[in-house]
Amino acid sequence: MKTYNLAILGGSGAVGYEMLKLLIDRNFPIKNLYLFASKKSAGKKITYKDKIYIIKELHNSSFKDIDIVLGAIDAKIMKSYLPAIMQDGAILIDNSSAFRMEKGIPLVIPEINPQDIYTHKGIISNPNCATIIALTALYPLHQHAHIKRMIVSTYQAVSGAGEKGINELKEQIQGSFAHQVFPYPIAFNLIPQIGDFEQNDYTSEEMKMQNEGRKILHQNDLSISCTCVRVPVYRSHSLSIYVEFEKEIDVSTAKNLLADAKGVILLDDNTQYPMPLYSSEKDDVYVGRIRQDLKNKNHALHLWCCGDQLRKGAALNAVQIAEEIIKNMQ
């Protein structure tokens, strides 16, 4: 079997660590694996399954002989290293927002549009975590009845802001209400703002759902209104979704479609339902609380879903893309 040289950028962070675990657990054919981060993190040791990985400082010269780069660093920093990655001929799978909406760069959820991977010219983008979770849950229904409109409320865990978000919540629970990561204290609180506000009064995080959804589904008229809320949960995002379809669909049909869907766990019997408690550190998106809309009964559903934003919402999606890429590199 052919093996590959891989680099993880942001190897000391929460998403980078999940990428490391998934590559090992899924038996990705690795020849050499390199973990890079900032000068501050260089020398740090990461242990997984009794093997020690040492973080190296990231430089423009870091990409020589690398086949695939998994990016888990800030968008601005990612853009600064792109010329070096391209020059050395590596394929970049990037988890940041740097290239998602650029024309000609595929934005991919492997369960939905794997064919777009093969249009790449050296870069493939991972969608936003909430977009991945929502569309993974909805795509089986979209294939059957074609989504027309969505109203989404997201309840996003603090780890979506990285390790610093987790640490801030821990410190506040212990009594310190100083805050730097979030605009207000997050412990025992909800913050209805993720990202900066735009001219239309939606935040940048809220606009990602519509803009990215249109690109992934190749549906420019898709209408999505989103409200994103930060919640005092360590891990796993939750979403409440109202979705309208062009064709008729009922709850029974929706449940049957989701029960057979790849990457989805149906949990809907009114005694159990999706919660971060269940979906954290899991690969699948959990879907439940499926109801017919009381007014638009034949063409609209309400549902609730949860997914681990560090795994399927970030690291797993990137590793799945890498797995698809090497099918054509054998």
In tens, the pLDDT along 152-205 reads: 999 999 999 988 999 999 999 999 989 999 999 999 999 999 999 999 999 999
Burial class of residue 247 (count of CB atoms within 10 Å of its CB; 0-12, 13-18, 19+): exposed
Quickly count helices (H) and strands (E) in the chain: 8, 14
Report how far residue 251's alpha carbon sits from residue 171's, in angstroms, rounded to the nearest whole number.
43
Alpha-helix residue ranges (DSSP H) falling in the chain: 14-25, 75-87, 129-145, 163-173, 204-217, 251-259, 276-279, 316-326
pLDDT mean across residues, the chain: 96
Amino acid symbol at 130 = A
Give the number of residues written for the chain: 330
What was the pLDDT predicted at 112?
A: 97
124: confidence class by pLDDT, cuts 50, 70, 90: very high
How far is residue 123's CA from residue 82's CA, in Å, rounded to a whole number? 9
Domain topology for 130-309: Dihydrodipicolinate Reductase; domain 2 (3.30.360)
62 phi/psi in degrees, rounded to 5: -75, -10
Domain limits, CATH 3.30.360.10, in the chain = 130-309
Residue range 55-82, pLDDT digits in tens: 999 999 999 999 999 999 999 999 999 9
Mean pLDDT over residues 203-216, rounded? Answer: 97
pLDDT at 330: 63
d(CA 272, CA 268): 6
129 closest CA partner among 308, 324, 286, 263 = 308
pLDDT value at 3 more than 90: yes
What does DSSP assign to residue 219? Answer: -
What is the chain's percent helix, strand, coil content, to nearest 5? 35, 25, 40
User: What percent of the chain has pLDDT above 90?
Assistant: 95
Q: Determine the CATH number of domain 4-127+314-326.
A: 3.40.50.720
Mean pLDDT of 31-42: 95
Q: Where in the chain is the domain with CATH 3.40.50.720?
A: 4-127+314-326
Considering only the C-alpha atoms of the chain, give the largest distance between any 2 of them, rounded to a whole number of Å. 60
Residue 328's pLDDT band, with cuts at 50, 70 and 90, is confident
Question: How close are the terminal C-alpha atoms of the chain, in Å?
Answer: 8
177 versus 320: which is more confidently predicted? 320
Residue type, 14: A
Q: Beta partners for 36?
A: 9, 56
> Which residues are the active-site residues?
129, 237
Q: Quick: pLDDT tens for 221-280.
A: 999 999 999 999 999 999 999 999 999 999 999 999 999 999 999 999 889 999 999 999
Q: What is the pLDDT of residue 1?
A: 84
Residue 35's DSSP bridge partners are 8
- Residue 114, Ramachandran bin (φ over 0: left; ψ between -120 and 50: alpha; else beta): alpha
CA angle 53, 54, 59 (to 5 degrees): 125
Looking up tokens 């294939």, which residue turns up?
143
Both tokens of residue 102? 């650029």
Q: Which pLDDT belongs to residue 177?
A: 85
**Is residue 93 within 8 Å of 71, Cβ to Cβ?**
yes
